Amino acid sequence: MSNIQKPDPDITTIIGHIQKGGKIKPFLKDIFLIKLNVAGLDYIDNIDEIFSEIRVGDRLELIREASNEYDKHAILVKYHGEKIGYVPRKDNYVLSKLMDGGKHIYGVVDSFGVDDVYENYEFRFVNFKIFLNDH
């Protein structure tokens, strides 16, 4: 009995395509990296106004802030050009390295809302997914 296996027909089709001079397209979809929450919403002066506009599926702009005096790996989160907070410090190291290496990453609002954490205190949250655009 032989250990040699027949190649997967899909692989042989791809190899044949390449041998005939064909090209393979890169990923057509952006690559999901991680799901996080926006840090620092409570420190934004006009957050009530911004929060009333946020919708699930909205895009968030991520901007590398290497000169941030508190965190050299800081990544600013903006919604329609308005600052709403930061990528949490505990999660920003690898993402900042990707951005420093020229990769484009962005966020998409996954969920948002208000929780009553303490009496007379409303805790706003925005959960978002981060994607890598590498094409």
Q: Which residue has the higher pLDDT, 43 or 27?
A: 43
Tokens for 89, please give them: 């410090």
- Residue 33 amino acid letter: L
The rounded distance, in Å, linking the Cα atoms of 84 and 42 is 9
Q: How much of the chain is helix, strand and coil, in % rounded to 5?
A: 25, 40, 40
Which residues touch 76 (CB under 8 Å, ≥6 apart)?
62, 63, 64, 65, 83, 86
**Most confident option among 11-15, 39-43, 58-62:** 58-62
For residue 41, the tally of other CB atoms under 10 A from its CB is 19
pLDDT band at 134 (very low <50, low <70, confident <90, very high): confident
CB-CB contact of 30 with 78 (8 Å) = no
The rounded distance, in Å, linking the Cα atoms of 89 and 2 is 54
The rounded distance, in Å, linking the Cα atoms of 43 and 58 is 21
The answer, yes or no, to whether residue 17 has pLDDT greater than 80, is no
Quick check: helix, strand or coil at residue 17? helix
* Model confidence, pTM: 0.76
